[in-house]
Amino acid sequence: MKSKENSLGQALVEYIIIFSFMAIIAMRMAGAINTYMSDTMGNLAYYLSQQLSVGVCKQWCFMDSFSNNK
């Protein structure tokens, strides 16, 4: 009977270790996705502010109200 109790405790420890590794991996992935999205949105905001802040676009515009003074 002693062997069965030890194996139950060992299985619990193994599950805790596996769960903790999965939690660490999930947190790392969430951090990486957060960094990627932050950089992407920052680049998009910079591009849009450069194109739309002067009121005209070089080749084409994002909005109909802006024109190239033609």
Each residue's pLDDT tens digit, 9-54: 888 899 999 999 999 999 999 999 999 999 999 988 888 887 776 6
Per-residue exposure over 17-42, b if at least 16 CB sit within 10 Å of its own CB, e if not: eeeeeeeeeeeeeeeeeeeeeeeeee
For the segment 42-51, what is each residue's pLDDT rounded down to a tens digit?
A: 988 888 887 7
Give the number of domains in the chain: 1
Tokens of 27: 């947190």
Where residue 68 falls among pLDDT bands split at 50, 70, 90?
low
pLDDT at 48: 81
Residue range of the domain that includes 9: 1-70
Give CA–CA dist 55/47, Å, rounded: 14
